[in-house]
Amino acid sequence: MRKWISFPKQVGVSSKQAHADFPEQAIYEREVGRSGFFGPATHFHHRHAPTGWSHWEGELRPHNYDFNKLDGVAVESPWQVPVLLHNAHCKFRIWHCREDMKFLARNADGDELLFVHEGRGELFCDYGHITLEKGDYFSIPRSTSWRIQPLEPMQLVMIEATNGSYQLPEKGLVGNHAIFDPAVLDVPDINEQFKAQYSEDEWQVQVKRHDKIATITYPYNPLDAIGWHGDLAPVRINWRDIRPLMSHRYHLPPSAHTTFVADRFVVCTFVPRPIESDPGALKVPFYHNNDDYDEVLFYHEGDFFSRDNIDKGMVTFHPAGFTHGPHPKAFQAGREHKKKFTDEVAVMLDTRDALQIGDACATVENPDYVYSWKAHD
């Protein structure tokens, strides 16, 4: 058994409540915490912005990738999509799917999570048929066979839980029906569209295991189930079904927006919500050292209120090890409480283990992003 060394202290001038009622002489708060936002934490009050660096050397820096520039890279198989960010427990890819899959895919390395950034399509799998729309998450259990028929060109974020599985977060005091009711989760159906694809023609399954592909050939379509029962299945939820937790007096940490939990990483969803209205409450994300997790944000749509010059389809990657937080203009706008409502939609991947950067990222990186926190007149 063990526990954190914990003895809350107060030194110098500080607020009594995190993220609210800052001392007048130090408007910049910085949170240093452990275990994401669940462990012990200290809140510093600074005279200058913690992100006010003037020069940066070395590889540990914030990254910004415009993955829209990968748009020309369309492949027929999800297993041909280059890995953009990865570690031993997860892989992050973006797949441009434009053509019907003429085979089935099966991931024997772990669960797969799809997020539909653009387009829509029909998905067929062992469990039946489902139509995927823009803004859908679709969680696919390990070793499920599946294929997609795009109804229009699709752009899919793919997050693999390598050797792991996706589960729902514990919702604690707010109860099982908060954030989203499990009743909103959809599953594939053995419907007429599924039955119409029964076939005695030859089909192949591309199975990925240890990142190697084996091809299994059947003299029929193996998606031939007539029914199923149980509590293991792919599930679909759209970001519009998420009802975010919020407080008018306190800026909640990103962990309050957790959608899926896997082994050593989480996937969170930021959706539109009212901005805090209490005069003393922080109105933008707080500066923080999340030193146990790497942070990846995929911007789906809207105006991400804590960032400048970020468009949909872009990704920011903040490795653990330095303070990050709102850009100067966003911080000032928050102090002036110019916006009353956020309109952003973003998918966040927080990983307990350091992420490696794939080769494809180098061609679409903005090298000046590290200096985007500099104050401009």
Annotated binding residues for Fe cation, written as ranges, equal 288, 294, 324
Is-contact 111 262, C-beta < 8 A? yes
Reference 298, options 90, 139, 84, 58; nearest CA is 84
Q: Which residues pair with 349 in a beta bridge?
A: 267, 296
Helices (H) and strands (E) in the chain, counts: 2, 20
Burial class of residue 227 in the structure, from the number of CB atoms within 10 Å of its CB (0-12 exposed, 13-18 middle, 19+ buried): exposed
C-alpha 323, offset from chain centre = 20
Is-contact 367 303, C-beta < 8 A? no
Q: Which residues are annotated as a binding site?
A: 288, 294, 324
251 is catalytic: yes
Report strand pairing: 203-209 vs 104-107: parallel
Residue 61 gets which letter from DSSP? S
Catalytic residue among 43, 89, 129, 251: 251
Is-contact 135 240, C-beta < 8 A? yes
Distance (Å, rounded) from C-alpha 210 to C-alpha 197?
A: 30
Q: What is the CA radius of gyration of the chain?
A: 22
Other CB atoms closer than 10 Å to residue 183's CB: what's the count? 8
Is-contact 217 283, C-beta < 8 A? no
- Could you tell me which residues come within 8 angstroms of residue 193 by beta carbon, excluding any fewer than 6 positions away? 122, 129
Q: Which residues are annotated as a binding site for homogentisate?
A: 324
Burial class of residue 9 in the structure, from the number of CB atoms within 10 Å of its CB (0-12 exposed, 13-18 middle, 19+ buried): exposed
Residues with catalytic annotation? 251
